């Protein structure tokens, strides 16, 4: 029985990908837990803590396919303990002389935190791969539309000219910073957890630190050097990096959503074959992908706040915040996977209408050249005086329905400082300033970074 829409057969594709589900699906998670227990037994056997034969048998016979999951679930409910049902399920498939050595000296949090680090390793690799692909597409868009001049907007209103290449390069530059965050964070996040009851590894005596080192190494994780039962900053940081990534994708989605409005019509997300915009208004072509990016971003940010709250814990173990992560961390990862897959589809088929961008520039009646006109007047009459004069002139122009050129030409107190030919050339130039040079710099830096970094993470 499915009660969560994110697991729905009808709608599940909106909230995750099969690749991410394979990380967090229950049987896969249980198998990963068992792999952690095998690594623990093998590391303990290395140090003579458990018999070698027991560790070998645990490794050989511990598989999710052999466990009665229904029995494990019933025992979990009966005992009220998070993993005692699993232990009993393992005892049922292992001989008595072996089963006493499974999960030896470890706690629920040792198991689940180590698994979470392994999950982060798999999720981070997917995010890294997808971000590099998104960056590549954005860089191509930036190069292709480097000089495609369009209206730059501030506070939702036409401002001064930019280029679409400049806009795409800004997105790419932000993606590059997320890649840097992933690279820099890996050593902090990918660590094992073996702490014991209160973090001191007291159960293992003087072998505790070496055991943790070997255990972490067998999992492909680093030794944290310090137990982190109540130090949840690692997970909070990783989750918030994902939330920032989703916020970037939501920002791009918002821009596409806004610029697809028919009165602007400069960008259009790709139309899918068979897609229906509206069942009552057939003319509509809704930017459903772009708006869904914003929906996903909102959900991720809300779950990230839960993990941040979990950083405030009491004493040496506190299940209130730690167990909330069991819901929040997978949810953030699943939603992020959906957002990455969605934006790759949108950007790879994004329709950029340069002609409409030019028409929108022309429709601004030259007002968007006001910054450049101000720059021409400021050295002559002073910046603040020029600002006041142009503000007054353009207010009159709006009231009379005049263009910027007509309004300035009609004012003798402005015209005496600005030759008609200069005014005409400034308005006609639709100057985007240093936009092109910044595109070139973003492309150059990204090229250098991509050439020096690995295609895989970490």
Return d(Cα 306, Cα 320) in angstroms, integer.
11
Q: Does the annotation mark 155 as catalytic?
A: yes
CA 300-335-216 angle, 5° bins? 90
CA–CA gap between residue 51 and residue 330 (Å, rounded): 36
The Cα 361–Cα 344 span in angstroms is 29
CA distance 318 to 312: 9
Inter-residue contact 27 to 69 (CB < 8 Å): yes
CB neighbours (10 Å) of residue 450?
15
- d(C-alpha 268, C-alpha 265), whole Å: 7
- Per the residue annotation, which of 8, 278, 348, 434 is the catalytic one? 278
Place of tokens 């003319």: 283
Q: Are 186 and 457 in contact (CB under 8 A)?
A: yes
Q: Which one, of 341, 342, 238, 338, lies nearest residue 6 by Cα?
A: 338
Residues 407 and 400: their CA atoms lie apart, in Å, by 9
Expressed in angstroms, the distance from the first to the final Cα of the chain is: 37
CB-based contact 329:234 (threshold 8 Å): no
| Residue (of 232, 235, 249) closest to 335 by Cα position | 249
Q: Is 283 among the residues known to form the active site? A: no
SS3 330: helix
Give me the half-sphere count of Cα atoms (radius 13 Å) on the Cβ side of residue 112.
Answer: 17
CA angle 219, 40, 314 (to 5 degrees): 90
From the number of C-beta atoms within 10 Å of its C-beta (0-12, 13-18, 19+), residue 154 rates as exposed
The answer to whether 134 and 343 are in contact (CB under 8 A) is: yes
Burial of 25 (0-12, 13-18, 19+ CB in 10 A): middle
Strand partners, 157: 154
From 16, 81, 145, 155, active-site residue: 155
Catalytic residues: 155, 278
């Amino acid at each position: 029985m499915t009660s969560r829409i994110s697991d729905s057969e009808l709608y599940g594709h909106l909230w995750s990908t099969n690749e991410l589900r394979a990380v967090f699906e229950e049987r896969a998670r249980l198998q990963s837990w068992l792999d952690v227990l095998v690594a623990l037994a093998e590391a303990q056997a290395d140090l003579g803590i458990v018999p070698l034969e027991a560790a070998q048998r645990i490794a050989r016979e511990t598989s999710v396919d052999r466990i009665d999951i229904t029995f494990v679930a019933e025992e979990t409910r009966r005992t009220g303990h998070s993993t005692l049902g699993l232990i009993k399920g393992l005892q049922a498939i292992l001989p008595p002389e072996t089963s006493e050595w499974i999960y030896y000296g470890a706690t629920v949090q040792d198991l689940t935190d180590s698994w979470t680090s392994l999950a982060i390793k798999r999720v981070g690799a997917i995010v890294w791969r997808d971000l590099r692909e998104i960056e590549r597409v954005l860089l191509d868009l930036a190069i292709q539309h480097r000089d495609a001049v369009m209206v730059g907007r501030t506070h939702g209103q036409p401002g001064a000219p930019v280029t679409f290449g400049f806009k795409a390069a800004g997105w790419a530059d932000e993606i590059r910073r997320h890649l840097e965050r992933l690279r820099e964070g890996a050593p902090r996040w990918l660590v094992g957890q073996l702490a014991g009851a209160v973090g001191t590894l007291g159960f293992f005596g003087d072998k505790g630190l070496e055991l943790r080192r070997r255990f972490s190494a067998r999992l492909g994780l680093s030794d944290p050097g310090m137990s982190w039962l109540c130090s949840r900053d690692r997970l909070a940081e990783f989750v918030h990096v994902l939330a920032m990534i989703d916020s970037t994708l939501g920002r791009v989605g918002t821009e596409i959503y806004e610029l697809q409005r028919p009165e602007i019509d400069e960008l259009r997300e790709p139309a899918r074959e068979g897609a229906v915009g509206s069942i009552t208004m057939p003319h509509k072509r809704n930017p459903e992908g772009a708006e869904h990016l914003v929906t996903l971003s909102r959900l991720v940010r809300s779950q990230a706040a839960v993990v941040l709250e979990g950083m405030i814990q009491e004493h040496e173990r506190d299940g209130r915040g730690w167990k909330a992560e069991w819901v929040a961390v997978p949810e953030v990862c699943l939603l992020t996977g959906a957002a990455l897959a969605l934006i790759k589809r949108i950007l790879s088929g994004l329709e950029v209408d340069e002609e409409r961008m030019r028409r929108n520039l022309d429709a601004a009646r030259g007002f968007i050249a006001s910054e450049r006109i101000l720059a021409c007047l400021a050295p002559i009459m002073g910046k603040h005086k020029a600002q006041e004069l142009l503000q007054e002139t353009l207010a009159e122009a709006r009231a009379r329905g005049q263009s910027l050129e007509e309004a300035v030409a009609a004012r003798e107190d402005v015209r005496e400082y600005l030759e008609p030919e200069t005014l005409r050339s400034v308005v006609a130039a639709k100057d985007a300033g240093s936009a092109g040079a910044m595109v070139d710099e973003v492309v150059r830096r990204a090229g250098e970074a991509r050439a020096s970094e690995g295609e895989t993470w970490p």
